[in-house]
Amino acid sequence: MTVADFRFFTLDVVRTLRLGHSFLRVTFGGRSLADFRSGGYDQSLSLFLPPPHRDHTPLPSTDEDTWFAAWRAMPDEERPVMRSYTVREQRGTGTDAVEVDVDFVLHASASPASSWAGRAVPGHRIQAIGPAVAQNKSVRFRPPAGTDALLMYADETALPAAAAILERLPEGRQVTAWFEVPHPDDRLALPTRADADITWVVREDGTGRERTERLLEVVRSAHLPAAEAPYAWVAGESGTVRAVRRHLVKERSVDRRAVRFTGYWRLGASEEELLAQAYAGQAPSEEPTAEL
């Protein structure tokens, strides 16, 4: 991450919209968004969400060299939680203002991000690290030239990114997608010009392994269109993502270099633990050439 590619932004809640049983869209505005440059697709940004007793908690530093240490040094009860989310859409409003939509998953367990989104109202303010240039490394969806079919898997945490990808695909692009959600009412309408065959998998109760095996049964039973150069985009819970990737490479003979896989979360691990691993250089590689 470089100063040229990313910077801090101040985001004001403009409105919220319930999309389904588990999804809430928060629309942000703010003067600093004039310099926001989303690259689309699965563009991510980092949000700093205040604790329940605060409408806004400014960071003690936004300097490239000092912000992380200053944020970590804040008292636990005052420190905003940092969470990674996808830019669902960026648009101009016709009045020189810019709006950015971020879709949150509302968990029954009331995670910090879910709790913040559930109480967000116009006027609430957060800070974020986001893109200042559209071509940046946080956009992971990069099918190579010659791709003739797209394979997709996403759970609810990655569904906003998948929706943004589908919306930007060219007309007629062949897509086979499996989207896993926790509730039947989470099967959202997903506009696209692509020729998309979408299978919704409504999750059942069970352990992580049981859930993964049920999902893999659906994927294994699917008929894939004939393609010479398929590209796969796989995102969601880390263990399931790796299992789907392994299936596509070993059982479907998809070139491992043509599979982009991203673990958005991991069963049994908090995002704070994953964040600490990432900054310590201990996170598993998500490069297409990484080991299965």
Instruction: Count Cβ atoms within 10 A of the Cβ of residue 122 and give its class: 0-12 exposed, 13-18 middle, 19 or more buried.
Output: exposed
Residues 25 and 61 in one domain: yes
Considering its fold, how many domains does the chain have in total? Answer: 2
Domain extent, residue 215, equals 149-279
pLDDT of residue 1: 45
At 49-72, the pLDDT tens digits run 999 999 899 999 999 899 999 999
Residues 173 and 83 in one domain: no
**Inside any domain, residue 23:** yes
**Inside any domain, residue 291:** no
Residues 13 and 99 in one domain: yes
Mean pLDDT, each 10-residue run in order, the chain (292 residues): 78 96 96 93 96 92 94 95 95 86 86 91 95 94 95 97 97 96 95 96 77 92 92 95 95 95 76 56 60 64
Give the CATH number for residue 81. Answer: 2.40.30.10
Give the CATH number for residue 159. Answer: 3.40.50.80
The mean pLDDT value of the chain amounts to 90
Can you tell me the distance from the alpha carbon of 252 to that of 219, in angstroms, rounded to the nearest whole number? Answer: 10
pLDDT of residue 107: 80
